Structure formats: C-alpha cells, structure tokens
Amino acid sequence: MQDAHSDSDAKSGGVKVNDFRQAFLEFALARDVLRFGRFVTKAGRQTPYFFNAGLFNDGDSLRQLGGFYARAYLASGVTCDQLFGPAYKGITLVAATAVALAGMGHNLPYSFNRKEAKDHGEGGLIVGAPLRGRVLIVDDVITEGGAKREAIQMIQAHGATPAAILIAFDRMERGRGEHSAVYELKEQFGVPVIAIATIEDLLGFLGQRPDLEAQRDAVTAYRERYGAAA
C-alpha cells in the first residue's frame, strides 16, 4: 500500500507542500485556465471567475499538471493501491498523475473505464490494471457529482474500495441545497475529496497580488453569496 505523507515532511519537485497550491494557481493563471471577468456557471449563476482545466491542452502543461496532482495526493495523507480515471477527462489526468508519481518514487498501477463495454479483445469496461484494494479517483472538477458517483459504484462493484477523489479545483459552492456536491459525496459514500486548490486558496492567492485586488473583492462577494455551508 502507498505510504501516507504529512504536510511537514512531504516535498515534490522542489516545491514544499505548503507552497504548491499557490504555484498551481499561478500556473493556471499563466495558462489562461483561471480567468477573471463575467461568466455564467452551469447552474446559471453570474460568476467573476472561471476555471477550465480543459485548457491544460499541451504536453508541457499536462506534465506540470500531473506533478501538481501528485503533490496534492502526497500532501493529503490518503493511502491508495492504485489510481482510476473516469472517462473521458479523467483518462488523461490519471495517466499524467501516475507518471508524475512514478517520477517521485511512487509507482502505482492505474486504469480507466470505457463508456460502453467492449465485446472483443480484452472486453469489459475497465482498461488497464484490474480494480483492487484502495482506489484513488482522479478527475478535473466536481460539478453535480454524477460522474463521481458512477465511478465510486463501479469500483465497489469490482470488489475494490474508493480511497478518495482527487480533483484540480474545488469551488466550494452550493448545489441545489445548502451543501456542495463535494460535501454530499462525502456524506453519501464516506469518500474524502482532495483538491489541488480551493476557492479559499484562490482568495489567499489574490490577497498576495495587488494587481488582482479588484478580482479578489468580486470573488469574495461571490463566495459569500453562493458558498456552501461548512
């Protein structure tokens, strides 16, 4: 089983774990993945910022992104035996994370699912390592949580245990009720969610950037209006 790591001693790629969240947000801003302006969320809300992980769309960006996923996992203290990426976005992300972890001395098997079962060749829904032991789910974000519920149930159906869900960014925003989809997944399945960065990290990051002070005020107001209950 993968050894747990603590915030006090884990280091990855020369970045201490208490620094990697800010480094990730700087990276996202430089790649235009993190944008400020006027946007509309899937829920129809006017938001002053937008995070689109799909714009990490070249080789160097993917290499660095896998490193940030690996650092977030190692900093979390969660243990797992393998990685799993839900189709489709999770396929690339789980592979990048597996490569990054191997480069840090933690070689873990990984797998992903097909949307439709294959009836020839190796067949089945799962590609890669068989689902066994404690499985870490790797994906981009959690919106309403449906895809993650499917992944959890798929892992359980194979006799394995979902260890945690690892995502890039947590908006910490209410769904239809008072709580976020992240909270609801934790409550329903007992599965923790690890984020490379959250809206609280973003507010801290903006507070250190005088050039982004206006954006911080707008994001703070949005957080106060739509933030999920603790």
Active-site annotation holder among 5, 11, 42, 120: 120
Q: Which residue has the tokens 């973003």?
A: 202
Which of 11, 118, 148, 186 is catalytic? The answer is 118
Write the CB contacts of 7 (distance below 8 Å, at least 6 apart in sequence).
Answer: 17, 18, 75
Whether 120 sits among the annotated catalytic residues: the reply is: yes
Strands (E), the chain: 11-12, 15-16, 34-40, 46-51, 82-85, 110-118, 124-128, 134-138, 161-170, 193-198
Residue 88: cis peptide before it, omega within 30 degrees of 0: yes
Q: Is 5 a catalytic residue?
A: no
Residue 215 CA: distances (Å) to CA of 41, 42, 69, 145, 155: 17, 21, 26, 28, 40
Q: Which residues are catalytic?
A: 118, 120
